[in-house]
Amino acid sequence: MAVARELDDITRSLVRHRHEHPPVRDVNQEHDRRLKAGDRIAGDFARVVGSWTFVIFQGVLLVIWILLNALGFTRHWDGYPFQLLNLILSFEAAFGMPLVLMALNRVSARSRLSAQQAYEEGVKSEEEVKSVMTHLEVQDEVMLQVLHRLERFDRELRKISRRLGVAEEPA
């Protein structure tokens, strides 16, 4: 009866693990949900302008433009200093670069979200490790208590067996 009571005391003293953290977030979904139409357009534009396909297409288009206007296979719609071509390229640069910079700002915002999530996960991991370590320390204490109780019961059992005259088995 006393042993059962002691086991109940040990069971009550055990630490129970509680998981009290918010769930892990998907930063990409969260960031995409916050995007406005202009941000999406800027991102798509930056994706197109930042590709080799665009660079090659732009180069081929420039070579064709210059050849058609310089060699005279067709009517010259943009003579030698190529002012119309210069205007088109200036227009492209004037409106393209701000859109690319907007896309870079989006990437920066996503990086900040990722860093925040990494920080939260680090804090969460640290708390989990502390909880596991606390649980292990309590288990060590409980194991020591059980060991001491077993030793005490062993001594009492030996005393009782000596009083009853029962021979001890050699170890």
Query: Domain range holding 73?
Result: 34-163
Assigned domain for 10 exists: no
Assigned domain for 24 exists: no
Mean pLDDT by 10 residues, the chain (171 residues): 63 60 71 82 82 91 86 75 90 86 83 86 88 89 88 91 78 57
Structural domains in the chain (count): 1
The whole-angstrom separation of Cα 95 and Cα 46 is 11
Q: What was the pLDDT predicted at 43?
A: 79
> pLDDT tens digits, residue range 35-78?
888 888 877 888 888 888 988 999 999 998 888 888 766 677 78
3-class DSSP string for 36-49: CHHHHHHHHHHHHH
pTM of the model: 0.49
Assigned domain for 109 exists: yes
Helix runs in 14-82, H state only: 27-34, 37-49, 52-71
The whole-angstrom separation of Cα 112 and Cα 118 is 10
Q: What was the pLDDT predicted at 3?
A: 57
